[in-house]
Amino acid sequence: MNQPLQARIHTRGYSLQRKLAPWLLLAPPILLTAWLKYYLIIKAFYMSLFDYNAIEAPGPFVGFANYARMFSTQYYWDAWSNTFVFLFLTLIMTFLIPIVQALFLNELIRLRHVFTTLYIVPALIPTAVNMIIWKWIWHPDYGVANRILLFFGGQPQAWLSDPDFTKFCIVFPGVLGGGLSVLLYLSAIQGISREMIESSQLDGCTGWRRIVHIILPNIRFLIFIQLVMAVILTMQLLDAPYMYTAGGPSGASTTMGVYIYNTFQQDFNYGRGSSASIVLLCVIAVMSAVQMKLDRSQKN
Amino acid sequence: MSNKSGKIKSPTADRILKITAYSFTVLFSLLLLYPLLYTISNSVKDHVRIYDVPPKTIPEAARSLSIVLDYSELGAMDDRELLDLAQRDNILAMFSTLAEYPRDSLFEIKTFGVKEGKTIFYSRAHKMKLELLRDFGVYRGSVVKADVLLHGDRYVRASDAIGYEFDSVGLPRQPEASPARDEFDSRLTALFADKYKLEGFFSHSTLNTNNVLLLENYWYYFQLPSYVYSNNELIAQYSFLTFVFNTLLVIGWAIVTQVVLCSLSAFVISRLLDRKAGNAVLLYFLGAMMIPFASIMLPQLVMYKEIGFYDNYGALLLPFLYPFGFFVYLFKGFFDQIPSDYFEAARMDGASNLYLFAKICMPLSKPIITLIVLQTFIGNWNDFFWAWLVTEKQHLWTINVALYSLSINGSTKQNFILGLSVLMTLPVILMTVISSRQLKQSVMGSGVKG
């Protein structure tokens, strides 16, 4: 029944149409992606080769001089070191907490739904609102942070205005805002087969030991993915340091993202901004590639 | 044997874990709620009390002051003159009490004008309304002094903004009878008669506690943008709703484009291409999504400016006009699972590709669409930087941009900013509670596959 039908529809015209149709349908999305995303990388690289002049674009060609000049300024390397300090702080302060939260939520029998919802709320509060709230909490004179410090006998701090503390203050709100990651971990934990957990229980693997020997190894993959995402996102950190302190005080929270923004929006140095963009892109690409490679070798 | 001992041991080990789990979760939840409660408590304070050191957790009770001015002794005059007098006195009385007694938590001032036992004039203003007028409205940038307040037609405009009732025959309102004369009365007598020289005779005042007034604050917090950006017609008219509209417009557009583009691409990848080509295309889309925003924002800004997509809705909307690789991936995974019998049967009936897509794939992919709606919403709700870069006109601002601009604007008061933040937080909480189940499924759905 099928044979003659297929033979009939496999005429030449039809098969050509069949080959072309998918690409015709795919053309708009592919072209739009190329235009709105990939082309911009090329454009950034192109701009980085010029002493870019926005009015008479592109201005004089300077080759890699933008890169050379940028690498020779201390401000640029400070931005990198700030970025890595942010990365370090994010990983130790905010990365692990959602895992702990999810592990504990998984142990709850009652009220799990209520607490899960509660955890999500701070993650959905708009960035600007979070910034306003936390700026007031960190306020040196009227904020509650110094009240708590005084209560425990500490010395009041300038928090966001103190170059030593400002990174901590910007990262800290993230401790409360990990609700969506909690959901991811929780679903992964609940996806572990019941049989495995029950049989491990029979073998005496209960309580903390269950967490260490059964649950954590089983969600290892998700933790790794989340780690990669956290690294990639923190490397391009821009909104938070900009909104809290606009990169200050004295450049202490100028991440690579804020540095790029400042080079073109304050210094109008489009060439250098593009060079920094390209370097950042390469660094993030290399870091993700290395992490993926590590993961693959670990799996094997 | 070991089996048995395990069974005996398990309850204690589990119980310790359970107790730890509960206490940790409860403690952390309290920690989560604290900033929110702290902000709510601070936002209902007035701009003087908010700077109290040490800060108080519970705000002061709100008080309402009624001022009674008597015009009986001024003799006969026509209505216009009388109204004019009452308006001048009203503005003087309200703004002077506000300026002279900032620490008394007077959240409401009512002025009654009486003549021969009848109430002829009544006006009522909330403290925050008066502050808006003083900081951004009629009296923007002026000092509270009698001649400044009455200069030109300012007092008429201010009266209109505040609202009043006037009837020379008598209004159906009666001021409360005077209690025993208190300290406030004598302070006001001196203030009105000597410093501000009111025409009417200050008869007495009454003071009540009314904490509902604290909630009324939020109504004026909401109006803040329309006063700060009063030059902008749209914001003057719709206030904060302008920004809410922009945000929702961007999110709505993002949802529509993502659903259409991603599902179409995924359909082609999943059903019309062979495996190898499909994966290559998918990788192409996923790769585009991995490009960090920080490293293309400059060329993006330059390019958008070149093609005229700057400081208009186009600039806000165009960045979403390409399929997000992750959503394509989700759709593809979903379409792959639809049994191919469906397609073969339909194709035998002569159905075109578009028909297959529109009539078979789309109706089945409601769960994925829900997921994309929620994820797009969360993603864009927090988006700030691009909108901040490309908008100069205030009526194009999204919520985040508007709040940020208001918060770095030196003349807005902290309680207004915190109050607006609370106003923006409450709908989020409400939505989270309502849609928490879908939200969880959405995040989990993306997590399991991603």
pLDDT at A58 over 80: no
CA distance A164 to chain B (A): 23
- Regarding beta strands B106-115 and B63-70, do their DSSP bridges make them parallel or antiparallel, or are they unpaired? parallel
CB contact under 8 A, A122 and B5: no
Nearest residue in A to B52, CA atom: A142
CA distance A288 to chain B (A): 10
Q: What is the pLDDT of residue B191?
A: 81
| Cα A198–Cα A203–Cα A205 angle in degrees, nearest 5 | 75
Burial A97-122 (b: 16+ CB within 10 A, else e): bbbbbbbbbbbbeeeeeebbbbbbbb
> Which structure tokens are listed for A262?
């400042």
Whether B187 contacts B135, CB under 8 Å = no
Q: Domain map of chain A by residue range? A: 74-299
pLDDT at B277 over 50: yes
> Which structure tokens are listed for B379?
């993603």
Q: What is the pLDDT of residue A296?
A: 75
Test mutation, A56, A83, A131, A132, chain B, max B CBs within 10 A? A132
Q: What is the pLDDT of residue A279?
A: 94
Test mutation, A97, A124, A223, chain B, max B CBs within 10 A? A124
Say whether residue B275 is in contact with chain A using an 8 A CB cutoff. Answer: no
The region of weakest confidence among A39-53, A242-256, B131-145, B389-403 is B131-145
User: What DSSP state is assigned to residue B116?
Assistant: T
B209: β partners: B63
A79-83, A245-249, B3-7: which is most confident? A79-83
Rounded to whole angstroms, what are the CA distances from B114 to A292, B119, B168? 81, 4, 9
Domain count, chain B: 3
Nearest to B56 by CA among B69, B45, B67: B45
Nearest-CB residue to A127 (from B264, B294, B400): B400
When pLDDT is cut at 50, 70 and 90, the band that residue A262 belongs to is very high
User: What DSSP state is assigned to residue B66?
Assistant: E
Q: How far apart are CA B191 and CA A44, in angstroms?
A: 66
Nearest-CB residue to B21 (from A108, A183, A209): A108
Say whether residue B58 is in contact with chain A using an 8 A CB cutoff. Answer: no
pLDDT at B254 over 90: yes
Domain identity same for B206 and B87:
yes
Q: What is the pLDDT of residue A4?
A: 47
pLDDT at B4 over 50: no
Domain identity same for B28 and B100:
no
Test mutation, A46, A66, A121, A172, chain B, max B CBs within 10 A? A121
pLDDT at B431 over 50: yes
Q: What is the pLDDT of residue B105?
A: 83
Rounded to whole angstroms, what are the CA distances from B69 to B83, B89, B96, B189, B286? 13, 8, 14, 11, 73
The region of weakest confidence among A68-77, B246-255, B300-309, B329-338 is B329-338
The region of weakest confidence among A41-45, B93-97, B309-313 is B93-97
CA distance B353 to chain A (A): 8
CB contact under 8 A, A43 and B378: no
Q: What is the pLDDT of residue B246?
A: 93
Nearest-CB residue to B39 (from A101, A116, A133): A133
Q: What is the pLDDT of residue B182?
A: 66
Whether A284 contacts A260, CB under 8 Å = no
B111: β partners: B67, B123
When pLDDT is cut at 50, 70 and 90, the band that residue B131 belongs to is confident
CB contact under 8 A, A32 and B51: no
CB contact under 8 A, B448 and A54: no
Q: What is the pLDDT of residue A2?
A: 47
The region of weakest confidence among A188-192, B140-144, B310-314 is B140-144
Q: What is the pLDDT of residue B448?
A: 45
Q: Which value does ipTM take for this structure?
A: 0.86
Model confidence pLDDT, tens digit, residues B340-388: 887 788 888 877 777 888 888 888 888 888 888 888 888 888 889 999 9
Tell me which of A220 and B253 has the higher pLDDT. B253
Q: How far apart are CA B421 and CA A127, in angstroms?
A: 10
When pLDDT is cut at 50, 70 and 90, the band that residue A1 belongs to is very low
CB contact under 8 A, A121 and B432: yes
Test mutation, A46, A125, A169, A284, chain B, max B CBs within 10 A? A125
Chain A residues within 8 A of B14 when measuring between CB atoms: 206-207
Nearest to B180 by CA among B142, B207, B157: B207
When pLDDT is cut at 50, 70 and 90, the band that residue B154 belongs to is confident
Nearest-CB residue to A36 (from B319, B404, B425): B319
Q: What is the pLDDT of residue B1?
A: 37
Torsion sign (Cα): B382, B388, B394, B396: negative
pLDDT at A103 over 60: yes
Test mutation, A136, A201, A272, chain B, max B CBs within 10 A? A136
Chain B residues within 8 A of A274 when measuring between CB atoms: 298-299
Chain A residues within 8 A of B261 when measuring between CB atoms: 28-29, 32
The region of weakest confidence among A6-10, A18-22, A138-142, B140-144 is A6-10
* Radius of gyration for chain A, computed over Cα atoms and rounded to the nearest angstrom: 26
Whether A224 contacts A93, CB under 8 Å = no
For residue B204, which phi and psi values (nearest 5 degrees)?
-170, 175
Whether B319 contacts B307, CB under 8 Å = no
Q: What is the pLDDT of residue B253?
A: 95
Q: How far apart are CA B272 and CA B69, in angstroms?
A: 84
Nearest residue in A to B303, CA atom: A40
When pLDDT is cut at 50, 70 and 90, the band that residue B7 belongs to is very low
Chain B residues within 8 A of A123 when measuring between CB atoms: 378
Domain identity same for B21 and B72:
no
pLDDT at B223 over 50: yes
Domain identity same for B111 and B146:
yes
> Which structure tokens are listed for A137?
């909490």
Residue pairs between chains A and B whose CB atoms are closer than 8 Å: 280
- Regarding beta strands B118-126 and B201-209, do their DSSP bridges make them parallel or antiparallel, or are they unpaired? unpaired
User: What DSSP state is assigned to residue A214?
Assistant: I
Q: How far apart are CA B302 and CA A264, in angstroms?
A: 10
Whether B163 contacts B124, CB under 8 Å = yes
Domain identity same for B100 and B28:
no
pLDDT at B179 over 80: no
Domain identity same for B393 and B269:
yes
Domain identity same for B196 and B247:
no
Q: What's the fold here for domain A74-299? A: MetI-like fold (1.10.3720)
Here the CATH number for the domain that contains residue B379 is: 1.10.3720.10
Q: How far apart are CA A113 and CA A129, in angstroms?
A: 25
Domain identity same for B92 and B146:
yes
Structural domain harbouring B80: 63-210
Chain A residues within 8 A of B430 when measuring between CB atoms: none
| Bond prior to B54 in cis (omega within 30° of 0) | yes
Rounded to whole angstroms, what are the CA distances from A236 to A252, A281, B324? 16, 9, 19
The region of weakest confidence among A7-16, A130-139, B161-170 is A7-16
Nearest residue in B to A26, CA atom: B265
Torsion of CA A42, A45, A50, A53, to 10 degrees: 60
Instruction: Determine which helix (DSSP H) or strand (DSSP E) holds B204, and give its type and residue range.
Output: strand B201-209
- Cβ-based neighbours of A244, under 8 Å, separated by 6 or more: A131, A134, A135, A160, A166, A169, A170, A253
Domain identity same for B298 and B392:
yes
Mean pLDDT (whole number) for B67-79: 82
Q: What is the pLDDT of residue A121?
A: 85
Say whether residue B429 is in contact with chain A using an 8 A CB cutoff. Answer: yes
Rounded to whole angstroms, what are the CA distances from A4 to A1, A10, A139, B347? 7, 10, 80, 15
A50: β partners: A61
Chain B residues within 8 A of A257 when measuring between CB atoms: 294
Task: Share the mean pLDDT of chain B.
Answer: 84
Pure H helices in A10-111: 12-33, 39-48, 65-71, 74-90, 97-107
Q: How far apart are CA B341 and CA B443, in angstroms?
A: 30
Q: What is the pLDDT of residue A300?
A: 60
- Tell me, yes or no, whether B32 lies in a domain: yes
Task: Share the mean pLDDT of chain A.
Answer: 85
Please give the single-letter amino acid code of residue B283. L
CA distance B442 to chain A (A): 10
When pLDDT is cut at 50, 70 and 90, the band that residue A87 belongs to is very high
- Cβ-based neighbours of B129, under 8 Å, separated by 6 or more: B161, B162, B220
Please give the single-letter amino acid code of residue B419. G
Say whether residue B295 is in contact with chain A using an 8 A CB cutoff. Answer: yes
CB contact under 8 A, B403 and A134: no
Longest dimension (CA), chain B: 108
pLDDT > 70 fraction of chain B, expressed in percent and rounded: 94
CA distance B281 to chain A (A): 8
The region of weakest confidence among A237-251, B171-185, B213-227 is B171-185
Rounded to whole angstroms, what are the CA distances from A134 to A166, A245, B181, B325? 12, 12, 45, 34
Nearest-CB residue to B2 (from A204, A211, A243): A204
Test mutation, A14, A25, A33, chain B, max B CBs within 10 A? A33
When pLDDT is cut at 50, 70 and 90, the band that residue A63 belongs to is confident
Tell me which of B301 and B443 has the higher pLDDT. B301
**Axis crossing angle, helix B293-306 with helix A270-299, rounded to the nearest 10:** 140
pLDDT at B87 over 60: yes
When pLDDT is cut at 50, 70 and 90, the band that residue B446 belongs to is low
